[in-house]
Amino acid sequence: MGAIIYPGLAVNEISVSKQITAITDDQRLEDIRFQDDPSAPLIVEVDEAAELIAEINQLSMAGFDEIDVNDLAGYKRGRHDDDEGEGPTTAPNPANESKAERLHHARRESINTARREAIDNARCEARVTRDLPPCRTQEPPPSTKKSRKNKPLKPINALFGQPPLNILEILSKVMIEIPITWIMQFSPYFRDETKRLFSSPRLRRSKKQKDKDGALYDTGAYEEARELKRAAEAYREAMLLRASTKPTTTKAPPSPPPPAKDAPIFPQSVRVAMPQLALVEYMQDEEMLSAQVDHIDSTTTTVDVDRLSTEILADISRWNKRDTSYRSFGVPATITNTHTIKQAILPRNQVIVDSGADISLMYPHLRIALGLKPYEASSHFPAMAMSNADGTKCELTHFVVFDVHVKGVKRSTWAFVSPTEKTDQKLSLILGVPTLNSMNVVIHFGNGTVQLGDADRNEDIIVLHPPLSASVAPEITMRVDTVRELFGEDDEDESDSEEDSDEEEGDSDSNDEDDNDEQGFR
């Protein structure tokens, strides 16, 4: 089934057409088994444990601030301020406290409260900074240690008052022993020149000469072609002269045999009886050629072009005898609602893969049974409509999101919600090109197999074969002698078998053979 998209249609709300269907929703759902996802509690526990570990790591790292290792006194003062007030304290007695002590105690409590709020704010900022990616415009942290300025070197005492050193002269006097391969690696020019000096010279090939116009050509090949052309013309003239000087003799061609009664429907090619040596004299014989043309015209057969061929009729007969309990390229699938952890195990005849469908489509009875939440299609898709077989169009206003699991291959996908039901079929889901592409589905139409699975995701490649069905070929009953004649056995073997059967009619052991002869070979 294919879906045709019509952009530009108005999309307002979902509407399920109330039709008088031949199959009710209860009949559609009777083959589907519903259950809760067995892996849901384990997934929830793993997610909670992961969140707890991440929270502990953030809290443990939030309190560590970058400090200057050289500012040891400031670090100790900060530690002393943090340690103040953390010891065991006793509730003061208001009766024994003076006014000054109460003011001092209130000020101390306000300082501790402000400090705790500052620590909490710093921890929150550390969490946000750690989770966000680094910003390019963020200034680098200040360096903890100042680097020294580079100062030029001063000359030694022995060189005071002397002229500057001549580097080239010094290098010209320095002698270093190194392998020649090192020099070739250091200097490509030295390598190339050494290769040129030690290689043997080679002769250069002369270029082809050009004519006055500047075009290149091979004179020898041109002359050979001209000689061959002259020889062919001379041979043709000699054959024409020989044919014109030889006397012509006309012979009537043999009459063609009449067409057989069991001739095929379509005309066969008629072979014209021509002499072995087709000379010019035979080709110029008009009587002989006219006789052959009349023979071809007389054997022409009229064919009914509207008649169906045997191959087409056999194909139609096979389609009429197909097993309608299974669909072509159907797959068993498990559909999971990710919000309610509810699953629906669909049989093979209710889920089909359609390489010609641009979208995936789910029918209303399955969406209602699973409790899938419909989303507005207008917020994510353009206005879309589906063309039915009767020529009508229905708008696709909503879509659903779910997990599909087919033989170990699991994907999260989406599908549009069909506003109408199938009238005479138990069809729940159509997987279109988006879902088939994500599952890497390959459909082999010759073998009727469906291959799915992606090796890049370390998934096993699954091949679903068509289900076995009983043979629909008609049974044929034949006698033994007819089978022997059909397989071309000798007459002697037939006579021997008949004599043996006549001699053993009175024996008790020949009853089975007589029964087989009477009932025939199946």
H or E, element range at 400: strand 398-406
In a domain, 358, yes or no: yes
Residues 459 and 502 placed together within one structural domain of the fold: no
In a domain, 435, yes or no: yes
In a domain, 313, yes or no: no
Residues 326 and 454 placed together within one structural domain of the fold: yes
Residues 330 and 456 placed together within one structural domain of the fold: yes
Residues 412 and 330 placed together within one structural domain of the fold: yes
* Gap between the Cα atoms of 451 and 463, Å rounded: 4
Buried b (16+ CB within 10 A) or exposed e, 54-63: eeeeeeeebe
Residues 328 and 372 placed together within one structural domain of the fold: yes
Which residues make Cβ contacts (< 8 Å) with residue 190, sequence separation at least 6? 183, 184
Residues 327 and 392 placed together within one structural domain of the fold: yes
In a domain, 31, yes or no: yes
The CATH number assigned to the domain holding 343 equals 2.40.70.10
Residue 517: pLDDT over 50: no
Q: Which long-range contacts (CB under 8 A, 24 or more apart) does 419-422 make?
A: 419/14, 419/15, 419/16, 419/17, 419/364, 419/394, 419/395, 420/16, 420/17, 420/19, 420/364, 420/388, 420/394, 421/19, 421/21, 421/25, 421/28, 421/363, 421/364, 421/365, 422/21, 422/23, 422/363
Query: How does residue 338 score in pLDDT terms, banded at 50, 70 and 90?
Result: confident
pLDDT in tens, 355-403: 878 888 888 888 888 888 888 888 888 877 877 767 778 888 889 999 9
Q: How many domains does the chain have?
A: 2
Residues 333 and 451 placed together within one structural domain of the fold: yes
Per-residue model confidence (pLDDT) at position 314: 78
Residues 341 and 424 placed together within one structural domain of the fold: yes
Q: Which long-range contacts (CB under 8 A, 24 or more apart) does 373-381 make?
A: 373/339, 373/400, 373/401, 374/14, 374/398, 374/399, 374/400, 374/417, 375/399, 375/400, 375/401, 376/11, 377/11, 377/416, 378/11
Per-residue model confidence (pLDDT) at position 373: 87
Residues 433 and 496 placed together within one structural domain of the fold: no
Phi, psi (rounded to 5 degrees) for 489: -80, 160
Least confident among 159-163, 337-341, 426-430, 475-479: 475-479
Residues 340 and 376 placed together within one structural domain of the fold: yes
Per-residue model confidence (pLDDT) at position 521: 39
pTM: 0.39
Per-residue model confidence (pLDDT) at position 91: 53
* Gap between the Cα atoms of 291 and 288, Å rounded: 5
Residues 450 and 489 placed together within one structural domain of the fold: no
The residue ranking higher by pLDDT, 446 or 522, is 446
Q: Are 92 and 105 in contact (CB under 8 A)?
A: yes
| DSSP state for residue 450 in the 8-state scheme | E
Residues 460 and 484 placed together within one structural domain of the fold: no
Q: Are 32 and 388 in contact (CB under 8 A)?
A: no
* Gap between the Cα atoms of 354 and 350, Å rounded: 13
Structural domain that includes position 514: 480-519
* Gap between the Cα atoms of 328 and 341, Å rounded: 30
* Pairing of β 333-337 and β 342-346: antiparallel
**Mean pLDDT of all residues in 92-104:** 65
pLDDT in tens, 260-317: 555 555 445 444 444 444 444 555 555 555 555 455 454 555 555 566 777 788 778 7
Sheet of strand 462-464: strand arrangement = 442-444, 449-452, 462-464
